[in-house]
Structure 1
Amino acid sequence: MLKTVVIGTAFFLTASSIANAQSSQTPSPATPERLNAADRNTLTDMRVDLVKAALQLTPEQEKFWPAVESAIRSGAEDRRARIAKIQETVGVRNDESRMEAMRKRDPIAFLQRRSQALAQRSADLDKLAEAWQPLYNTLSQEQRQRMAALSIFVLREMSDAVDRRRALSEDSDD
Structure 2
Amino acid sequence: MRIFFLGGLVCATLGAVPLAQATEAEPFTRPHRFSAQDIAAFADARIVALKAGLQLKAEQETNWPALETALRDAAKARVARIEETRNSGAAAFSADPIGALQRRAHYMAARSGELDKIAAAAKPLYDVLDEAQKRRFGPLLASALHERMRGAPGARRGGDMTSAF
Report which structure shows greater RCO (CA 8 Å, sep ≥6): 1
Task: Please confirm whether the aligned pair reaches a TM-score higher than 0.5, indicating the same fold.
Answer: yes
Instruction: Tell me by how many angstroms 1:45 deviates.
Output: 2.1
Q: What's the counterpart of residue 97 of structure 1? A: none
Provide Cα deviations, 1:102-154, integer angstroms capped at 9, x if missing partner: 5x4252x2332122111110011011101101100111111111224545777
**Partner secondary structure for residue 52 of structure 2:** helix
How many residue pairs match? The answer is 124
Structure 1 unaligned runs (5+)? 1-26, 95-100, 161-174
> Unaligned 5+ residue runs, structure 2?
1-27, 157-165
The answer to which of 151-160 and 49-58 deviates more is 151-160
**1:159 counterpart residue number:** 155
Give the match for residue 64 of structure 2.
65
Equivalent residue, structure 2, for 1:83: 82
- 2:47–2:68 CA contact under 8 A, matched in 1: yes
Shift of the 120–152 alpha-carbon distance from structure 1 to 2, 3 Å rule, reads: closer
AA aligned opposite 2:137: M
TM-fit CA distance, 1:90: 2.5
Q: Are residues 81 and 126 of structure 1, via their aligned partners in 2, closer, same or farther at CA, if it must alter by over 3 Å?
A: same
Q: Secondary structure at the match of 2:102?
A: helix
Q: 1:48 to 1:151 in 2, by over 3 A?
A: closer
Report SS of the residue matched to 2:89: helix
Q: Deviations over 1:72-99 (max 9, x none)?
A: 11111111111112212224x38xxxxx
Question: Counterpart amino acid of 2:119?
Answer: A
Q: Distance in 1 between matches of 2:107 and 2:37?
A: 24
Deviations 1:57-85 (A, max 9, x none): 11111111111111111111111111112
Q: Scaled by the length of structure 2, what TM-score is found?
A: 0.63
1:129 matched to 2:129? The reply is: no
Letter in structure 2 aligned against 1:123: G
Q: Supply the distance in 2 between the matched residues of 1:46 and 1:126 (Cα, whole angstroms).
A: 22
Query: Considering only aligned residues, what root-mean-square deviation do their CA atoms show, in Å?
Result: 2.8
Could you tell me how far 1:28 is from its partner in structure 2? 2.2
DSSP-derived class of the 1:57 partner: coil
Q: 1:151 to 1:128 in 2, by over 3 A?
A: closer
More helix by share: 1
Q: CA separation of 1:46/1:117 partners in 2, compared to 1, >3 Å: closer, same or farther?
A: same
TM-score by length of 1: 0.60
Identity of aligned residues (%): 36
Q: Is residue 35 from structure 1 mapped to residue 31 from structure 2 by the alignment?
A: no
Structure of greater Rg: 2
